[in-house]
Amino acid sequence: MTLAADAAVVGSGPNGLAGAITLARAGLRVAVFEQLDRPGGGMRTDEPVLRGVRHDTCSAVHPLAFASPFFRSIDLRRRVGFVVPEVSFGHPLDGGRAGLAYRELGRTVAALGADGAPYDRVLGPLVASLDELTEVALGGVERAAAHPVSTLRLGGRVLEQATALRTLRFVGATAPALLAGAAAHANAPLPSIACAGVGLVLTAYAHALGWPLPIGRRVDPLRPRDRLAGRGPRADGRAHHPAGRHPGRAGATGW
């Protein structure tokens, strides 16, 4: 098969589609290859166990849905319906107890009792400077360098949470459990720099924006890509999905 494309993307999961869209918006012709019968990767909802019982393949909750610069650039909140729960996440504890990270930081602080103030000292400054935190955490080295105070603020907390120091400011188990539970989303050894960074950023978003759950489409998500590609996707086990063409060809437009 010969393709007239400037770039090829292998895999139509969220990263592949984001890359393809970015390249297409820059004016390149992009071919997306997917082995499975439909695109989406870990973002799909399938019925693998029982017909009519639907499971999210990898993730049902999307902590970065409102914060990601890429998602904001494609106006995801307008295109997809979301609900934002009162409780962003929880962590089970011994004795039938659980720690809860409420979307409202003050409510979480109050529920933590004696550990509320230390928890607030860790998360409060990150929540209060969320835009700069996003630049530092998701914007790359150049943007982090533009915000030295926020970079140092996050970096100091990461170093604490990545070492034995992480529990010294707390007297109970709940606050450390909440931070550790969020850190485990990094899928890296605990404790570590990687886990600490991921955990702190996700927890800050939990208290500033909440952890949204997508509940349905508001705008057909294929329409922008149809305008770029001239047609919607097709997957047949070895599929090729054109994700964009040069501006001026076949009626291609931007988002």
d(CA 28, CA 254): 11
> pTM of the full predicted structure?
0.80
Q: pLDDT tens, 192-217?
A: 999 999 999 999 999 999 999 988 76
Instruction: Please tell me the predicted confidence (pLDDT) of residue 250.
Output: 29
Give yes or no for a contact between 211 and 87, defined as CB atoms under 8 angstroms apart. Answer: no
Backbone angles phi, psi at 244, to 5 degrees: 175, 160
Instruction: Please tell me the predicted confidence (pLDDT) of residue 215.
Output: 86
Instruction: Please tell me the predicted confidence (pLDDT) of residue 140.
Output: 84
Question: From the CA atom positions of the chain, what is the Rg in Å?
Answer: 21
Instruction: Please tell me the predicted confidence (pLDDT) of residue 222.
Output: 47
DSSP letters of 167-191? Answer: GTT-SSSHHHHHHHHHHGGG-S-SS
Instruction: Please tell me the predicted confidence (pLDDT) of residue 233.
Output: 43
Instruction: Please tell me the predicted confidence (pLDDT) of residue 195.
Output: 96
Report the helix count and the strand count for the chain, using DSSP H and E: 11, 9
Residue labelled with tokens 């050894």? 189
Name the residue ranges covered by the structural domains of the chain. 1-64+74-84+217-255, 89-211
Instruction: Please tell me the predicted confidence (pLDDT) of residue 46.
Output: 84
Residues of the chain with pLDDT under 70: 1-3, 217-255
